[in-house]
Amino acid sequence: MKMKVKLTDTKDKENPETMAFTITMKTTDSAKLPKFPAASDVISTTELQKIIEEATSSYYKSLYGDSLTDTGTDEIQ
């Protein structure tokens, strides 16, 4: 990338001062961006919902067992 800069100080109308320079920037160690996922790596919303439901169900079964029915008591266990 090249950038040209020109500055002019016009406080002294009879003898304005001007300074100009060019900045050249070059990347040497740029980070490579990861590749976009291939079509085979993308799942549908329906598949994602099924995965979330199965994971949630498995999590609650590990906490409470297979029965998630009301025991009829108001006590917190």
List phi, psi (to 5°) of 32. -80, 135
Flag the least confident range among 10-19, 21-30, 38-47, 61-70. Answer: 61-70
Residue of 28 and 77 predicted with greater confidence: 28
pTM of full prediction above 0.75: no
**What 3-state class would DSSP assign to 45?**
helix
Residues 16-30, buried b or exposed e (16+ Cβ, 10 A)?
eeeeeeeeeeeeeee
The C-alpha atoms of residue 58 and residue 52 are separated, in whole angstroms, by 10
